[in-house]
Amino acid sequence: MTVESRPVEDLKSVFATVDSVRQAKARTRIGGTLSGLTVLEGDRVEVGQVIATVGDPKLPLQIAALDARLQSLQAQQRQAEIELDRARQLRATGIGSQQKLDDATTALDVVRAQMAAMKADRAVVEQQLREGNVLAPAAGRVLQVPLVDGVVVLAGEAVATIATESYVLRLRLPERHARFMKQGDPVLVGARGLAPDSAAGLARGTVRRVYPELEDGQVVADAEVSGLGDYFVGERVRVLVATGSREAILIPPDYLARRLGLDMVRLAGGVEIPVQVGRPVPGEGSSAVEILSGLRPGDVIVKAGAAR
């Protein structure tokens, strides 16, 4: 193998934070007493799922009062229908006047309009009862539940904060690297628990957005990586991002031999020379390591253990 110098990305190790793309708050729609809270921090919810109920004891009383008034209006309607039939009969025989007939017709119309208005009022109260159910506005994981059963809430209070199912890695780099960051750039994500980087086992992702505003002298970007749904929101992860390119000598690791604590490379002439080995290059997979010193472009090397 002939040693060559080739450009590689200059990777910088930074910390990124797992964050949800959006956070939605499940809010109450009416005031009352909270009950039936069914979720805790960390639970998964689906869109439209009932997570709590707000009860207002005045609403059932209002419905009962409206039902009683509807019964009264129904009785008035029956009486108005009887009066209208009587007025029609008298008018047909010539005994009753047209004014009496018109008055009876108007009285029945008024009662029917009152009944329609009362039914609409009852439908409004029934809708308020249904709005006592606190619904999850989006599917995701519950981050915060600041309330408990039995508390009195007002309309619009947040019962739970939900992180939507879409998660990203939020990167923060010094502003000197801002010119290197752009949408679509690849990133390499290390293992959980801030484990040391290794070429094997690095997940790959893509920068989806670079924010135009610097925060505390740092450029902020979001990266998409698969499998972030099992991470904690706010968990820190080690990430490798490209901050430029440079020339480097890369060789496969099977061309190296470890002897007496030194890394050796055998030249084509059979001579073994010590080299200083750098870190594996993740961009090239697990089959390339960087040689910092000991080799130069044009050298011919053979695999360790190969015949002279």
pTM: 0.58
Phi, psi dihedral angles at 79 (to 5 degrees): -65, -40
Q: What is the mean pLDDT of each successive set of 10 residues along the chain, which is 308 residues long?
A: 83 83 90 92 91 91 94 93 90 85 91 94 91 92 92 94 85 83 83 57 81 87 80 83 82 86 86 85 66 87 67
pLDDT reported for residue 306: 56
pLDDT reported for residue 194: 53
The C-alpha torsion from 249 through 255 and 259 to 262, rounded to 10°, is 10
pLDDT reported for residue 282: 63
pLDDT reported for residue 308: 44
Q: What are 247's strand-pairing partners?
A: 7
pLDDT reported for residue 201: 58
Count of all residues that appear for the chain in the document: 308
Delineate the domains of the chain, giving CATH numbers in brackets.
5-19+166-302 (2.40.30.170), 22-55+132-164 (2.40.50.100), 58-130 (1.10.287)
Name the DSSP class of 255: G
Burial of 168 (0-12, 13-18, 19+ CB in 10 A): buried
pLDDT reported for residue 39: 93
